[in-house]
Amino acid sequence: MGKEDSGRLLSKVAKFVRNPLKDWSELDAPESLPADNGYSREMLKEMIERRQRNDFVRRREFDMLRKLRQREAAGGTPESAAAISSFNMSTSGKSEGRALTLKKIDEIEEQMSQQWWKGRAPGGGDAPPVPPATPEAAPSTEEAARRAQAYADTEPGMAPPGEHAAAAMAAGREGAHPSGLEDAAIRFAQGDDAGAEAVLLQMTAPESPHADQNEIWRALLDLYRATGDAEKFGAASTRYAQRFKRPGPEWVSLRSLARDAQAGIDAMPAPEAPPEGLEQEADWACPEVLTREGLAELTRALAAAGPVWHMDWRRLSVVEHDAAGPLRALFNHWADSPVQLRFDGAHQLLAVLEKAAPTGDRSVDVVWWQLRLAVLRTVHEADAYELAALNYCITFEVSPPPWIDPRGSYTAMDVGVAPAPAVYSAEPSRAVLMGHLGGDCQQLLLRLDADLKNALMPTVSCAALLRVDLEGARALIDWVAGHEEQGRRIEFVDAHRLVASFFHVVGVTDHASVSTRSK
């Protein structure tokens, strides 16, 4: 053995002494590698042992679970039986507690009922009456009966008798419009003055239950005013003063008021006549609200008309949006065609369109501006067209359609009538009903429409109104219902009692307000 071999042997023995767990053949490897390999092997060995222990514990737990399930399937275990018994005990305890609670509630209700119903004994029978402290304190039999009758309807649990409630409702209705007064109003409307007077005299008789009602007496006095019987009015006014201990109403002749009102209307100047040679009936009159159906009626009317087309726009107040486009096309067609047009109320049409197309509001549909420009072109208003076109340019920031001379001819039928803007007054605007309202009263209602055209609070004075028959009431109901649909509620003031009661009977008060005269 050489010197080098002996040296390697000694170093190998020294390594073996430092690492006795290593194999002899591994001592020739570098020192770093054996250390790393040994450390890795130890770690792997520990991980394997830990996994084996975990697997053993898991298998043992699974075995226990399988055994428990097998026992439950076979008929239960003592532990489960104990659990069931404990559950039954808890539920039975809860049931007993609930029973005790219900028992206490019953006892409290029994105690409260004894306190509320003083005459009820705890056992359910009637308790003996408590004797009074002194004989003087005990009420008499008559007094007890009177008290029992007075407080019978207020006893707890007792509803008031049905006939009492019905009588109270009937009394309320009688107080507002007694049936006798309505009967007299109907007789008066039919021209039976004597029958109406007989009914009212019977109601104002001293033995009548209505003898103390002020409205019945005032209706009788209004009857004498309407019939012009001053002598009977004076006698009835004296009885009224004696009955109510105050002066009676003064005599007013409603017939004289009606004559004065008619004379005032006759003295009013007649409306200015149109230029000579232009008087003719319109081929088509525009309604207040122009719709697509209204445009269809317009085309049918013009198809049946002659070479000159006469249209009346004075009643127009609104053009519906779905009719704006077809109406624009119609006006453009008229402007481009050799037609002869005659308009009444062209200023009203332009005012409605100007309101529908405000300057500076870009949210408005452009069709309203186009319709307005088409109408101005059709009626030969070049200057107004240029101004509207400038406002159109300012609003939409685009060039407006240029002016093109219309091919047709146009004549304004209301020449000399200034297109004054509508001025709505906050003060009540009054129209007048006078005399006898009946039969064909369409002209009278048209006059009322003209008088109330710009009124925010339309009021009709009935101070000079003598009588309204059934036909007049029907026409009046249609008239007030039409105004109510437009959001305007008519108010009739200073009507005498028989007319006001008749308005209530026929249903005028369902669509209008009615107030009676105060004097």
Tokens 């072109």 correspond to what residue?
A: 377
Is the pLDDT reported for residue 24 higher than 70?
A: no
CA distance 490 to 43: 105
The residues near 491 (Cβ < 8 Å, ≥ 6 apart) are: 428, 457, 458, 459, 460, 512, 513, 514, 515
Mean of pLDDT values over 21-33: 62
Give the pLDDT score at 118. 44
Q: What is the mean pLDDT of the chain?
A: 76
Tokens 């009431």 correspond to what residue?
A: 473
Give the pLDDT score at 119. 45
Assign 518 a pLDDT band (cuts: 50, 70, 90).
Answer: confident
Q: How many residues does the chain have?
A: 519
Give the pLDDT score at 332. 93
Mean of pLDDT values over 417-443: 63
Give the pLDDT score at 280. 58
**3-state DSSP assignment of residue 495:** strand
Summarize pLDDT for 67-87 with one digit per residue, the tens.
Answer: 877 777 676 544 544 444 444
Give the pLDDT score at 267. 67
Q: Running DSSP on this structure, what letter comes out for residue 142?
A: H
Q: How far is CA 307 from CA 155, 303, 340, 342, 411, in A?
A: 87, 10, 7, 11, 14
Say which amino acid occupies 245. Answer: K
Give the pLDDT score at 101. 60
Q: At what angle do helices 179-189 and 193-203 cross, to 10 degrees?
A: 160
Is the pLDDT reported for residue 150 higher than 90?
A: no
Give the pLDDT score at 263. 81
Is the pLDDT reported for residue 36 higher than 50?
A: no
Q: Point out the least confidently predicted range of 146-160, 211-225, 347-361, 466-480.
A: 146-160
CA distance 16 to 9: 10
Is the pLDDT reported for residue 106 higher than 80?
A: no
Record the tokens describing residue 382, joined without a space.
Answer: 């070049």
Summarize pLDDT for 230-242 with one digit per residue, the tens.
Answer: 999 999 999 999 9
**Which of these, 297, 222, 232, lies nearest to 519 by C-alpha position?**
222
Give the pLDDT score at 139. 45
Give the pLDDT score at 222. 92
Q: How far is CA 33 from CA 30, 40, 41, 343, 354, in A?
A: 6, 11, 12, 117, 103
How big is the CA angle at 313 (ends 311 and 317), to the nearest 5 degrees? 155
Helix runs in 304-345, H state only: 321-335
Record the tokens describing residue 327, joined without a space.
Answer: 């109406």
Give the pLDDT score at 258. 86
Is the pLDDT reported for residue 62 higher than 60?
A: yes
Domain 429-516 has CATH 3.30.1230.10: no
Assign 502 a pLDDT band (cuts: 50, 70, 90).
Answer: very high
Instruction: Provide the greatest CA pair distance for the chain.
Output: 176
Assign 485 a pLDDT band (cuts: 50, 70, 90).
Answer: confident
Is the pLDDT reported for residue 460 higher than 80?
A: yes
Q: Point out the least confidently predicted range of 79-93, 194-208, 329-343.
A: 79-93
Assign 200 a pLDDT band (cuts: 50, 70, 90).
Answer: very high
Is the pLDDT reported for residue 143 higher than 90?
A: no
Is the pLDDT reported for residue 192 higher than 90?
A: yes
Q: Point out the least confidently predicted range of 81-95, 103-117, 365-379.
A: 81-95
Is the pLDDT reported for residue 153 higher than 50?
A: no
Give the pLDDT score at 99. 63
CA atoms within 13 A on the CB side of 287: 12
Assign 203 a pLDDT band (cuts: 50, 70, 90).
Answer: very high
Of residues 160 and 176, more confidence is placed in 176
Give the pLDDT score at 235. 92
Record the tokens describing residue 355, joined without a space.
Answer: 């309101």
Assign 226 a pLDDT band (cuts: 50, 70, 90).
Answer: very high
Of residues 258 and 30, more confidence is placed in 258
Give the pLDDT score at 64. 80
CA distance 251 to 140: 57
CA distance 21 to 6: 23
Tokens 């019905």 correspond to what residue?
A: 166
Mean of pLDDT values over 204-216: 90
Of residues 155 and 253, more confidence is placed in 253
Is the pLDDT reported for residue 218 higher than 90?
A: yes
Tell me which range, 91-95, 131-135, 304-308, is most confidently predicted by mean pLDDT.
Answer: 304-308
CA distance 338 to 341: 10
CA atoms within 13 A on the CB side of 49: 6
Is the pLDDT reported for residue 116 higher than 70?
A: no
Q: Point out the least confidently predicted range of 89-98, 157-166, 267-276.
A: 157-166
Is the pLDDT reported for residue 335 higher than 60?
A: yes
Please report the DSSP string for 419-480 in residue order: -PPP--BSSPEEEEEEEEE-SS-HHHHHHHHHHTTTBSSEEEEEEEEEEE-HHHHHHHHHHH
Give the pLDDT score at 343. 94
Q: Domain segments of the chain: what residues?
A: 192-251, 284-412, 429-516
Is the pLDDT reported for residue 268 higher than 90?
A: no
Give the pLDDT score at 373. 94
How much of the chain exceeds pLDDT 70, in percent?
A: 67
